[in-house]
Structure 1
Amino acid sequence: MIPITVCADWNVAVFGLGLSGIAAARALALGGAKVVAWDDNEPARAKANEAGVLVALPEEWDWSALNALVLSPGVPLTHPKPHVIVEQARAAGVEVIGDTELFCRERRHQGLPGKVVAITGTNGKSTTSALTAHLLSTAGRDTALGGNIGKAVLDLPPFAAERHYVLEYSSFQIDLTPGLDADVSVLLNVQPDHLDRHGTLENYAAIKARIFNRLGAAQCGVIGVDSDLTRRLAEHWPFAAARKVVSTAHPVSDGVYVHDGLLFEALGGVVEAPISLHGIPALRGAHNWENAAAAYAAARALGLSRETIIEGLRSFPGLAHRMEEVGRLDRVAFINDSKATNADAAARALACFDPIFWIVGGRAKEGGLAGLDAYYPRVAKAYLIGEAAEDFAHQLDGHVGYERCGTLENAVAAASRDALRSAARAPVVLLSPACASYDQFPNFAERGEAFRRLVAAHEGVSMREAIAA
């Protein structure tokens, strides 16, 4: 854990007691702050109590004595309207920050020890973060991975001169981290997402771009240029830091690009020999090529050799719930892409397989399946689940055959049946929902684990029984 000594003797309130909230409360107390906390969810409060956190109703807080409110990133800060606790803090003149801001302040307080890589983007940030950490670890660097992936940032090991922190940032976390600074900052892409929390696409993009705000001349910004908003930002780079661009769409003169699975590094227009990404299961598809290019650029900015990076790329195991093969039944592969919670993310998986028996649905985001038309010829049939089923049936009607399944269990059974009956050489049952999970599951990970269990149950069924089901 990282003790937050910069807030010693402060009075701090923590609202939201998930993993990051409990870690923030404990780290503040360990550093000498007086902490009070609350969560509207009773089980969360119970866990905080077990961890030794003082829990008290906000009505009992002395706002006049508070120095800061540490807010969970899941609590609305601005849109559709600020949570009442945010309004109370602002009325009392109390700053509202996140656990990631505490991390940045403590690091500055200690003289900026170690190195920090900050990574964000609408899609791909988890894989890029995990891959970057893997490359550093493969090179023998002392590496800690956390933030929006894995451990809460304050649950990571304390600052040390040789330690590298690879931190995934959501837009919600960036919004709560005005002092965000890093040695290497990465912005992969910006696509419509979380507009209910940020109001407009422009505001969402501006928040993502804050990942670069405090970069100095000795630091590096890595930016993907395959989405319109990030390309415009790269063209008019307003930051002091060096800039490296990554692309899977076209060559670049100073950065990293991938063409047909071959990764090229260009330095001042001079292009190094390509590195093949073919045959690396965890880096399959153009979207993972973008992730690989960004991680490569970040690793090079931190001084890793090409040879060490190549070794790390080839040994990367990938992440659960991101185009993860979780089983096979005869010729049929079952792919868990539960992390695809919007259409753009689902497109990346749909581009990688053919034919696809596609399990899709959940709680739809704005736009639904818009933009996926080009991939419909790859889809043998769709299996609709969750709240979005009726709306998606209308969107797919006349383009893709579909079956309303309601639940994931029904969808896996139906998709398995049809895939096994298919004459195709390598059919794929793909869970890539293009939706949030909240209508039927607490999060995408729970949805993915449920899929894994259902596939395991089907693997135990004989092919004849599966086809007859």
Structure 2
Amino acid sequence: MIVARGMEGQKVAVFGLARSGLAAIRALVAGGAEVLAWDDRDGARTEAARAGARVQPPEALDWSALASLVLSPGVPLTHPAPHPIVSAARAAGVEVIGDIELFARALGPKAERSARVIGITGTNGKSTTTALTGHLLNRLGCPARVGGNIGEAALGLEPAPAGGAYVLELSSYQLDLTQSLAPDAAALLNISPDHLDRHGDMAGYVAAKSRLFRGQGPSDVAVVGVDDPRAEGICAALGRLREGPRVVPVSIGRSVGSGIAVLGGILYDRTGPTVQTIADLNACPTLRGAHNWQNAAVAYGLCRPFLPDGARFEEAFLSFPGLAHRMEQVARIGATVYVNDSKATNADAAEKALLAFDRILWIAGGVPKEGGIEPLRPLFPRIAKAYLIGEAAPAFAKTLGEAVPHERCGTLAAAVRSAARDAAGAGAPVVLFSPACASFDQYPNFEVRGEHFRTLVGELLAAADPQKGTAACTP
């Protein structure tokens, strides 16, 4: 656990008691703060009390006695309207911060830190890049603690040893609540429309993502994907700062000066006086597709300043196990591979999976995001047939029209059955579950949705002829 600093003897309210909220309570209590906590869920309030907080509803708070409000990133800060507890805090002049701000204060100024801080954000690819960055560092000799918006909350991490690193996935919601984070290395993978209901508009979303670089200076590195115009604009703006970080652009498909590129699956480093060939990503089964090549290139750019020359990156890439629900090959039945990409909750994420395969039997649907699947129209020729589920099924069927054969299945179980039937008859190589939607119409989150897909495919595998079921579902 990271112990909160600077809060000893102060009263602090924590609102929203999921993973990060409970970690904040423990860190604050360990640092000597008096913590008042609330969540609408009974179980969460019980956990807060066990962690040392006094459970108290917001309407009973004495704002004049509070130093800070630590807000869950899931609670609206500004849009569509500030939560009433945010408005009350602001009216009383009480600062509103998040767990990452507490983490930054706990580590103290950069000159006092013994371990480096690496922050990673972007619309898509954050989790894979964060996990891969931690894997590369640990594999190549730099002890890393991985968390934030993935896995363990930042304040729940074990302290990194001197010379080690904290590798944090950071969402736009978390960045909105953070003022003093100063990462030694920071990365922006990409930006496409997402979470606009929480940021007001695209400009608000871009501004939230850009906050990651605010605390950086000339001794720091900013690794930025430049294959979409908004991220490229941020890269250019960072490059114009007189006291800004060293900027490393990353592109998939084109060379960039003083940057990192992946061309034909080969990772090249052009940041030095000569071009270096780093790794053949085509050989990495868990990093398939151009989107994963971007993840790998950004992870390399984040790790490179902290590792010795000659570090064996290709071997480290090859040993990366991948993440569940992200382009996860769960089984091969006969000639057909079943891929779980449940994490693809918008069209931009689904695009990456569709680009990685041909002759696809595509399972999609759920709660649609703004714009639906219209942006995927150029990829329709790759889709042999679509199987539509959830609330999005009627709208997706209309978009697909006559361009793609499709079936409205309703549920994931029905879609898997239909896709398996068609795969056996047509010899299609891939059944791809990449929903391009949120899960909340039928599942509490994308993880549960992805686990259900894995279970359904496992049942198919168990029923298959042993001569045809050639691979077991992977954990």
Structure 1 contact 147–169 (Cα < 8 Å) conserved = yes
Alignment of 1:392 with 2:392, yes or no, is: no
- 2:269 aligned partner: 265
Q: 1:94-105 counterparts in 2 under 5 A?
A: 94-105=94-105
Alpha-carbon displacement from aligned partner over 1:196-239 (angstroms, at most 9, x marks no partner): 11111111111111111110111111111001011122223244
Q: Which of 304, 314, 319 is the aligned partner of 1:315?
A: 319
Structure-2 residue corresponding to 1:431: 433
**Which residue pairs with 1:139 in the alignment?**
140
How far is the alpha carbon of 1:306 from its aligned partner?
A: 4.5
Which residue number corresponds to residue 58 of structure 2? 58
Structure 2 counterpart of 1:193, one-letter code? D
Matched, 1:286 2:293: no
TM-superposition CA deviations, 1:272-327 (whole Å, max 9, x none): 13521112111110001101110111111223434322221111111111100111
TM-score (norm 1): 0.96
Number of aligned positions between the proteins: 463
Q: CA deviation at 1:82?
A: 0.8
Q: In the TM superposition, what is the alpha-carbon distance from 1:452 to its structure 2 partner?
A: 0.8
Alignment of 1:55-454 (within 5 A): 55-108=55-108, 111-158=112-159, 160-236=161-237, 237-239=239-241, 240-268=244-272, 270-273=274-277, 275-424=279-428, 427-454=429-456
Cα distance change of structure 1 residues 415 and 304 upon mapping to structure 2, 3 Å threshold: farther
Q: Percent identity?
A: 52
Distance, in Å, in 2 between the alignment partners of 1:72 and 1:318 is: 28
The CA distance in 2 between the partners of 1:307 and 1:283, in whole Å, is 19
Moved more, 308-317 or 331-340: 308-317
Could you tell me whether the CA contact under 8 Å between 2:29 and 2:52 is conserved in 1?
no
Contact 1:277 1:289 in 2 (8 A): yes
Distance 2:42 2:416 in 1: 34
Moved more, 41-50 or 271-280: 41-50
Distance in 2 of aligned mates of 1:428 and 1:277: 21
Shift of 1:74: 0.6
Q: How far apart are residue 387 of structure 1 and its match?
A: 1.1
**What is the letter of the counterpart of residue 45 of structure 1?**
R
SS at match of 2:119: strand
Asked if structure 1 preserves the Cα contact closer than 8 Å seen for 2:122 and 2:191, the reply is: yes
The whole-number CA distance in structure 1 between the counterparts of 2:421 and 2:441 is 25
Cα distance change on mapping 1:268 and 1:409 into 2, 3 Å: same
Secondary structure of the residue that 1:460 maps to in structure 2?
A: helix
**Equivalents in 2 of 1:310, 1:78: separation in Å?**
44
1:461 equivalent to 2:443? Answer no
**C-alpha distance in structure 2 between counterparts of 1:121 and 1:304, whole Å:** 27
Mapped contact 1:329–1:463 kept (Cα < 8 A): no
1:165 is paired with a residue of what secondary structure? strand
Alpha-carbon separation, structure 2, partners of 1:305 and 1:287 = 27
Task: Measure, in 1, the Cα distance between the counterparts of 2:451 and 2:464.
Answer: 22
Letter in 2 for 1:398: E
Maintained 8 Å contact 2:248/2:271: no
Amino acid in structure 2 at the alignment position of 1:136:
L
Where does structure 2 lack aligned partners over 5 or more consecutive residues? 469-475
1:4 to partner: Cα distance: 0.6
Indicate conservation of the 8 Å contact 1:253/1:268, yes or no.
Answer: no
Distance 1:463 1:394 in 2: 37
What is the one-letter code of the residue matched to 1:432? S
Deviates more, 1:397-406 or 1:340-349: 397-406
Distance across 2 between alignment mates of 1:168 and 1:423: 39
CA contact (8 A) 1:299 1:309 kept: no
Q: Which runs of 5+ in 1 are unaligned?
A: none
Aligned-partner Cα distance in 2 for 1:109–1:274? 34
Q: In the aligned structure 2, how far is the partner of 1:51 from the partner of 1:400?
A: 54
- 3-state DSSP of counterpart to 1:134: helix
Q: Is the 8 A contact 1:384 1:405 kept in 2?
A: yes
Shift of 1:159: 5.1
1:14 CA drift (Å):
0.4
Aligned residue type for 2:117: V
C-alpha distance in 2 between matches for 1:48 and 1:130: 29
Instruction: Give the aligned partner of residue 42 of structure 1.
Output: 42
Report the TM-score when normalising by structure 2. Answer: 0.94
